[in-house]
C-alpha cells in the first residue's frame, strides 16, 4: 500500500490574517533649531531641542514548512489482515510572531487528484480499482478491532520544550490528534500555540515550533491488492483564535458548501486581505426561484490587490491560465512545472496629491497595466474620508450640489448606503478597493492583441485576470444566458435601467467609487459605480457594468485606459 503525503509547501507558507501591529516609538532628538553660538566655551541658549514621533508598523509574519525525513516516505507495503503504524515521518516547522499565537488546521485532501466522490475526500483511493474499494479513515489500532474494514489514520507529535514554543496537540469528539485519529473531512484545528511571542524575552521570538505527522493503516483480509493514495493538507492560520480558514484560492474545497444567500469571509493568500463573498442567484427574483446549479459566488467587496513590478503573481495563486502570442507574452513566463509567472510592468500607485485628487505617476495607456490605491498607504485614515478630499476635485460636482456621499464623514445629508460610517461598521462592504485599467484587470502588460469585440463570442475573451485562482472577471455577452452582470441586475434589481439604488444595498453592496480618468484624477466618487468585465468591445474599449442612482447599464463600453473597480466571480 502506498500512502501519498500531501506536500504542503504550496499552501502552508501563508498566513491568512494580516494583523498589523502598530508599535509606537518616541524618538528624543536633540535638534539644534538655531546653531549654538560659543561664548567663553559655553553654548548660548539659542540652542533648542524638540522631539519627533515615529510610528512603525510591524506586520505579522507566520509561516510553515514541511520536510519528509529521508527514508521515511509515507509508503508502506502491506498484506491482508495486517496493521501497521508510524508510516512515514514528516517534520513540520513553524514560525509566527503574532502575540496571539497561531493554529494548525488539517483536512483530508484525496479529492484533489484522485477523482473521488464528493464527501469522501478522506479516503485512500485506487485509480485502478475505483471507489468501490476505497480505504476509509478510522482509528483502529489493531486488526482485531476492525477486521472487516480497511482503514487509515493520522497522528501529530509535538517536539521540543516550552522554551521552543512547543505547540499543543488538540482533541475533538473523536479523541486527541496526539493518538491515531480519524482524518478530518472538514478543516479541523489539530494544534495551536496560544501565545507565540515572549514579550519578556524578545530575542526568543525567533524560535519556532516543531511537530511531526505520521500515519497508520489496517488492511482487511478482503482488501484487493493495489496501490492506494491519499492526502492530508495542513494549514497555518494566525491568530490562534481564527476560525476555520477559507482561502479564495481554495474555493474548490469550500465553494460547494456555501448555500444560496449565504455570505462568508474569505482570505486572499497573496496579501492576507479578507473579503466577503456570497452565493448569488442568477435567475428568479432575489433568492427565490433558483437552485444551486443556477448560482455563482460573487465578491461583495471590491478587489484591493496591490500590484508590484518586483513581485510576480503565479498560476498557483492568481487567475493565470494561458500564455500565448495574443496579449500575454510580455512579462509572462512558464517554468518547468508548468506554473505561469507574471510580473506587472507597473506598481500600484499610492502617491496621491490630496489637494487635487490626482495620482502621481498614472499614465494614459490602453495596453499596459496601471492601478491606483486611494488609501494612499494609510487604510486606517484614508485621505478620501477627509474634508481635504471633499474640497478637491474628487467629488462629483453638479449645478446644484457637490456629491461626495460615502467618501466624506461630515456629509450629513448623504444617503445611508453611502455613509462612510455605515460602510465601515457594516462588514466594511463599502471599502473602495483599488482602481485598475483594463490591462491591469486582465493581468497584461501588452493587451494590444485584443482589438476586436468579443461581445458575440465570449470564448475569445482573455482567459487571465488579477482575480485569485479559482475566480475570474464577470462576462458581458450578447447571449443573455452568458451576460453575468445583466443576470445579476435582473435578479436583484428587477432588470431596471433607471434606478441603481438597490445595487448598493444588500446583498450586492456595489460601490459608486468613481474612477481614475486619463488625467490621473480620481473623480465622480459617490456618483458613478463602474466595474470591469473580461469582454472586449474594441481596440480601445471593454465592457463594464455602470450605474448611478438614476441609471444602470449592464453592458456599457468604456475606455480601457481608465481605472475602474473589480469584483471577481467563481463558478463553484
pLDDT of residue 115: 47
CA distance 248 to 228: 30
CB-CB contact of 496 with 489 (8 Å) = yes
Written as nine digits, the cell of 493 is 434589481
When pLDDT is cut at 50, 70 and 90, the band that residue 337 belongs to is: confident
**Is residue 432 pLDDT above 90, yes or no?**
no
**Is residue 560 pLDDT above 50, yes or no?**
yes
Main-chain phi, psi angles of 440, to 5 degrees: -65, -40
Tell me the range of 45-59, 178-192, 379-393, 396-410 where mean pLDDT is highest: 178-192
CA distance 345 to 399: 40
Q: What is the dihedral of CA 341, 343, 344, 349, to 10 degrees?
A: 130
pLDDT of residue 139: 78
Q: Any residues with CB less than 8 A from the CB of 536 and at least 6 apart, and which?
A: 450, 451, 452, 453, 454, 455, 460, 461, 462, 542, 543
**Is residue 304 pLDDT above 60, yes or no?**
yes
Tell me which of 35-39, 196-200, 230-234, 332-336 is least confident.
35-39
Q: Any residues with CB less than 8 A from the CB of 206 and at least 6 apart, and which?
A: 95
Give 54 or 62, the one with higher predicted confidence: 62
Tell me the range of 17-21, 125-129, 293-297 where mean pLDDT is highest: 293-297
CA distance 326 to 314: 19
Average pLDDT (118-146) is 74
CA distance 331 to 323: 10
Tell me which of 2-16, 345-359, 379-393 is least confident.
2-16
Tell me which of 96-100, 392-396, 473-477 is least confident.
392-396
Written as nine digits, the cell of 520 is 490621473
Q: Which of 21, 88, 86, 28 is nearest to 59 (CA)?
A: 21
Give the HSE-up count for residue 501: Cα atoms under 13 Å, Cβ half-sphere: 6
Average pLDDT (346-372) is 87
Q: Where are the alpha helices (DSSP H) in 402-472?
A: 420-425, 438-441
- Which of helix, strand or coil describes residue 445? coil
**Is residue 43 pLDDT above 80, yes or no?**
no
pLDDT of residue 459: 94
Q: What is the dihedral of CA 438, 442, 447, 449, to 10 degrees?
A: -120
DSSP structure string for 462-521: -S--SSBTT-B-----SSGGG-HHHHHHHHHHTT-SS--GGGGSTTT------EE-TTSB
Written as nine digits, the cell of 94 is 513553524
Counts for the chain of helices (H) and strands (E), in that order: 7, 33
**Is residue 3 pLDDT above 50, yes or no?**
no
Give 317 or 426, the one with higher predicted confidence: 317
Give 239 or 334, the one with higher predicted confidence: 334
pLDDT of residue 323: 86
The side-by-side arrangement of strands in the sheet containing 569-570 is: 263-267, 274-281, 295-299, 569-570
Give the HSE-up count for residue 221: Cα atoms under 13 Å, Cβ half-sphere: 5
When pLDDT is cut at 50, 70 and 90, the band that residue 402 belongs to is: very low
Average pLDDT, the chain: 76
When pLDDT is cut at 50, 70 and 90, the band that residue 391 belongs to is: very low
pLDDT of residue 496: 95
- Name the pairing type of β-strands 136-137 and 151-159: parallel
CB atoms within 10 A of CB 206: 8
CA 72 to chain centre: 34
- Which of helix, strand or coil describes residue 299? strand
CA distance 255 to 396: 39
CA distance 442 to 543: 13
Amino acid at each position: 500500500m502506498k500512502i501519498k503525503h500531501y506536500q504542503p509547501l504550496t499552501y502552508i507558507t501563508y498566513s491568512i490574517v494580516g494583523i498589523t501591529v502598530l508599535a509606537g516609538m518616541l524618538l528624543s532628538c536633540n535638534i539644534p533649531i538655531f546653531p549654538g553660538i560659543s561664548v567663553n566655551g559655553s553654548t548660548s541658549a539659542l540652542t533648542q531641542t524638540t522631539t519627533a514621533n515615529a510610528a512603525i508598523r510591524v506586520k505579522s509574519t507566520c509561516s510553515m514548512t514541511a520536510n519528509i525525513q529521508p527514508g521515511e516516505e509515507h509508503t508502506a507495503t502491506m498484506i491482508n489482515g495486517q496493521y501497521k503504524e508510524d508510516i512515514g515521518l514528516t517534520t513540520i516547522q513553524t514560525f509566527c510572531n503574532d502575540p496571539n499565537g497561531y493554529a494548525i488546521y488539517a483536512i483530508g485532501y484525496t479529492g484533489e487528484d484522485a477523482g473521488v466522490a464528493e464527501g469522501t475526500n478522506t479516503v485512500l483511493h485506487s485509480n485502478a480499482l475505483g471507489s468501490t474499494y476505497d480505504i476509509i479513515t478510522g482509528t483502529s489500532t489493531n486488526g482485531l478491532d476492525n477486521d472487516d474494514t480497511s482503514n487509515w489514520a493520522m497522528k501529530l507529535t509535538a517536539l521540543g520544550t516550552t522554551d521552543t514554543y512547543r505547540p499543543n496537540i488538540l482533541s475533538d469528539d473523536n479523541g486527541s490528534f496526539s493518538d491515531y485519529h480519524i482524518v478530518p473531512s472538514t478543516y479541523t484545528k489539530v494544534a495551536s500555540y496560544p501565545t507565540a511571542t515572549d514579550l519578556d524575552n524578545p530575542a526568543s521570538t525567533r524560535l519556532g515550533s516543531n511537530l511531526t505527522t505520521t500515519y497508520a493503516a489496517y488492511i482487511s483480509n478482503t482488501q484487493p491488492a493495489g496501490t492506494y493514495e491519499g492526502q492530508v493538507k495542513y494549514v497555518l492560520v494566525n491568530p490562534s483564535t481564527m476560525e476555520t480558514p477559507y482561502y479564495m484560492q481554495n474555493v474548490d474545497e469550500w465553494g460547494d458548501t456555501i448555500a444560496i444567500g449565504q455570505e462568508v469571509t474569505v482570505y486572499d493568500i497573496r496579501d492576507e486581505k479578507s473579503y466577503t463573498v456570497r452565493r448569488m442567484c442568477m435567475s428568479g427574483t432575489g433568492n427565490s426561484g433558483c437552485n444551486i446549479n443556477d448560482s455563482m459566488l460573487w465578491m461583495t467587496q471590491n478587489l484591493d490587490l496591490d500590484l508590484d513590478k518586483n513581485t510576480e503573481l503565479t498560476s498557483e495563486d492568481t487567475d493565470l491560465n494561458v500564455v500565448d502570442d495574443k496579449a500575454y507574452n510580455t512579462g509572462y513566463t512558464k517554468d518547468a512545472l508548468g506554473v505561469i509567472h507574471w510580473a506587472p510592468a507597473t506598481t500600484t500607485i499610492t502617491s496621491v496629491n490630496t489637494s487635487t485628487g490626482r495620482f502621481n505617476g498614472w499614465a494614459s495607456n490602453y495596453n499596459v497595466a496601471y492601478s491606483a490605491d486611494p488609501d494612499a498607504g494609510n487604510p486606517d485614515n484614508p485621505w478620501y474620508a477627509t474634508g481635504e478630499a471633499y474640497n478637491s476635485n474628487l467629488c462629483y460636482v453638479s449645478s446644484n450640489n457637490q456629491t461626495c456621499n460615502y467618501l466624506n464623514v461630515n456629509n450629513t445629508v448623504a444617503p445611508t448606503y453611502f455613509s462612510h460610517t455605515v460602510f465601515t461598521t457594516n462588514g466594511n462592504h463599502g471599502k473602495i478597493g483599488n482602481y485598475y485599467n483594463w490591462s491591469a484587470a486582465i493581468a497584461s502588460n501588452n493587451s494590444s492583441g485584443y482589438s476586436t469585440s468579443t461581445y458575440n463570442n465570449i470564448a475569445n475573451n482573455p482567459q487571465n485576470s488579477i482575480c485569485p485562482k479559482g475566480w475570474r472577471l464577470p462576462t458581458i455577452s450578447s447571449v443573455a444566458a452568458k451576460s453575468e452582470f445583466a443576470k445579476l441586475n435582473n435578479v436583484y434589481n428587477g432588470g431596471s435601467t433607471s434606478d441603481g439604488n438597490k445595487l448598493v444595498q444588500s446583498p450586492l453592496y456595489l460601490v459608486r467609487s468613481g474612477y481614475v480618468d486619463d488625467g490621473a484624477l480620481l473623480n465622480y466618487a459617490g456618483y458613478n459605480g463602474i466595474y470591469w468585465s473580461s469582454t472586449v468591445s474594441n481596440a480601445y474599449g471593454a465592457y463594464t457594468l455602470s450605474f448611478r442612482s438614476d441609471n444602470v447599464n449592464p453592458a456599457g463600453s468604456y475606455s480601457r485606459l481608465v481605472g475602474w473597480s473589480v469584483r471577481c466571480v467563481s463558478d463553484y
